[in-house]
Structure 1
């Protein structure tokens, strides 16, 4: 669940992009002189040199003033360390290329466009993401395992039964998974549509409302919305109000059934499936008595208490500062699964999901389009809150292999540095695409 986090499931920590005058396509096998020179300018800019006036064209400078650009690049240096060198230049034409920039902590991908006429100033610059500068899959796994807190990871090829995992860290450990739980809701919707019990075009009223992330919390109360629209919002931008609407529309009995069918090792861990509003409200100090009773109850009693408590667990009772400041009850009030549970859920979707469901999973690749383009199919759903990160992928390679990948990081003592795990996960996914 993403609390007050402008994310839209695009995991890039910093992104700045402008294309004021895109270069016209040309055929060129090598690297033009202007690309070589401007690539060096990009390195200097990322290192903090104040050369914007001579390097960027006027349209770029008007859209992204030098002071703003320097703020953005300073954020990059804080997260990734100093830019060290241009590792590679892959030209698209004489005035456009993809640069790989080596930072102290990672390798960044930068798309660059130049003016077509001399002096070929930079007209477009897009920093699309980072991956760890690690040599092998084993190196990446070891780096993830060395992070503070607890890590749970599992990579499983899905094409043949009983294959050993490609890689694993604590695959049977219990982890808070945040918005990853929304995959169970998608799986139940998919099952119901395939069974003829529902249609994607079925309309329900929006509500109950939750807090961001998402957009539908700003829509009119009780807006008529299709199940397909709600599912799309829930998966592509982790919309919490869409999620809570679907939980209400589906019901706890059906949700409990899909948790069992998808192979969760302890289905009672997700019984009942809390709405995002309910989970957040129960963490508030004002609801301490309700929280203690809820946590002490068995699954059947939790279901009863949740119905009883629902009117008290209002949006007005949620203090966003409690949710965004530090980890808060992530070992008690959350959605829980093991990496093996998540891989079984992804495998269930791989076996059963309709084309519509697969398309919804592929809307937002999470770690960026550069990584997604290496795959024939790239399905993603993530989750985060302070102390919790969960990245999950259903992948189809261009050589015909299918994989389920889950990477989880929990730390109840401190918020996590998302850019660290993001860079490592991006490198992991890119290396897997090469196998």
Structure 2
């Protein structure tokens, strides 16, 4: 399955599926793009027999303006744009877009030749079936001639493309029943805890409902703390937050790139925290409401809530020499350790994303606890319509049949969470929570798109 070559963003941040910066093992991507050139030619010249059916829950076209503003979404939009430009693609067009490791194995001349000779002749393209997270995306391109093909992208935290695949249409087979989707989730070679609710009923659940790492999905509790602070008058959506060297985190996101002293509103930070899982935005909001307000909302086992900056330092920075002490400490002891981590001694390139962090002390929750925070946010949206735009901007998969659909994912090496809630056109509230983990980080990476697409299948089944 070609999606097994995909890499997913980490969870300090999606998921869409929403992440800490990743440092993927890229050799398989580099080898694969060369191997896939022949497949692309076959697809575009119509030599592929019996092309598979579309893999996504729906085939709603993705307009140029509708690509998610995640780094992976922007990279997919760039691919679409460059394939449809009037002039032939030149080496200058791809310069700086791909990582040095990538271009060392796939030279720009080869990329330009692929674009101009094998892909652009089929323009214009309709893009459908977009799915992805902050650092990984997949979409189907249907041209004016030839068979559709799938573009799969992985990017570094700064948006540099480190993985690119062009393949025949995705071989994900859409689940036809809820029982089918459950069976396939259970068969994945990773641990998957899941819960599906419709209205007041739990209609599907894994045998285990354990607490497990959820990566950036913890930002849902931060968002609720922001809403509560607005309700009690201590904060306003229009209040300005100042970005300083002392509160900048590492990607995902882009606020860390702003000059010191720059300001963003609470509303802008909340949008970025959810839509592109901006870590600096998250930390700004935790600082604005106070950690105690977030701690009051999260499950007891998640307290104290670390900022993303503190987590980077504790797990990968010089603070990692206190990781064992932190794991054994009580809530008060952990809070003291977090407060001592003032400096950020790690950079995005220092982060090891090939070693699973499933056992690291991090944000964690059970599927029921994630479903509960969705219910609280849904209730709060009656007084805060801003939540619909914040939570609905990046749904990770393309699904129809809902009046609104919200998503938040998260990932770390060896960890992936995807969660959705939405109101169907018939008025039912559907919530889907998928939490996957493994001691083998590659196994989670390899099954990321299948997990997200199965989540989309479940949403589609419950919308009908």
Identify whether the pair has TM-score above 0.5, normalized to the shorter chain.
Answer: yes
1:331 aligns with 2:331: no
- Equivalent residue in structure 1 for 2:294, among 239, 255, 266: 255
Q: What SS does the aligned partner of 2:416 have? A: strand
Quick check: 279-288 or 142-151, which moved more?
A: 279-288
- Equivalent residue in structure 1 for 2:421, among 394, 401, 405: 394
Quick check: 412-421 or 222-231, which moved more?
A: 412-421
Q: Deviations over 1:138-189 (max 9, x none)?
A: 111111111123111001123xx4x2x1111145311100000000001111
1:316 aligns with 2:345: yes
Q: Deviations over 1:327-386 (max 9, x none)?
A: 13x22321010001001111111122221112200011112xx32x33211111111121
CA distance in structure 2 between the partners assigned to 1:67 and 1:403 by the alignment: 46
**Unaligned residue ranges in structure 2 (runs of 5+):** 1-7, 19-28, 30-42, 53-82, 95-107, 116-123, 130-137, 153-168
CA distance in structure 1 between the partners assigned to 2:87 and 2:460 by the alignment: 31
Q: What SS does the aligned partner of 2:440 have? A: coil
Bigger Cα Rg: 1
User: Do the aligned partners of residues 305 and 99 (structure 1) sit closer, same or farther apart at CA in structure 2, a change above 3 Å counting?
Assistant: closer
CA distance in structure 1 between the partners assigned to 2:287 and 2:407 by the alignment: 24
CA distance in structure 1 between the partners assigned to 2:258 and 2:84 by the alignment: 40
1:414 aligns with 2:441: yes
CA distance in structure 1 between the partners assigned to 2:457 and 2:112 by the alignment: 26
Cα deviation for residue 248 of structure 1 reads: 1.5
1:424 aligns with 2:454: yes
Q: What SS does the aligned partner of 1:253 have? A: helix
Q: How many residues align?
A: 349
CA distance in structure 1 between the partners assigned to 2:293 and 2:184 by the alignment: 39
Partner of 1:138: 179
User: Do the aligned partners of residues 190 and 171 (structure 1) sit closer, same or farther apart at CA in structure 2, a change above 3 Å counting?
Assistant: farther
CA distance in structure 2 between the partners assigned to 1:268 and 1:293 by the alignment: 19
CA distance in structure 1 between the partners assigned to 2:186 and 2:272 by the alignment: 32
1:41 aligns with 2:46: yes
CA distance in structure 2 between the partners assigned to 1:170 and 1:138 by the alignment: 14
Cα deviation for residue 133 of structure 1 reads: 3.1
**Unaligned residue ranges in structure 1 (runs of 5+):** 15-37, 48-55, 73-94, 101-107, 115-120, 260-266
Cα deviation for residue 134 of structure 1 reads: 2.7
Q: What SS does the aligned partner of 2:296 have? A: helix
The structure showing larger relative contact order (alpha-carbon pairs under 8 Å, at least 6 residues apart) is: 2
Partner of 1:282: 314
User: Do the aligned partners of residues 97 and 214 (structure 1) sit closer, same or farther apart at CA in structure 2, a change above 3 Å counting?
Assistant: closer
Cα deviation for residue 10 of structure 1 reads: 6.8
CA distance in structure 1 between the partners assigned to 2:85 and 2:303 by the alignment: 58
Contact 2:317 2:345 in 1 (8 A): no
Contact 1:182 1:235 in 2 (8 A): yes
- Equivalent residue in structure 2 for 1:172, among 179, 197, 209: 209
Q: Deviations over 1:243-285 (max 9, x none)?
A: 11111221121112222xxxxxxx3212111111211221137
Q: What SS does the aligned partner of 2:459 have? A: helix
Contact 1:177 1:408 in 2 (8 A): yes
Contact 2:12 2:216 in 1 (8 A): no
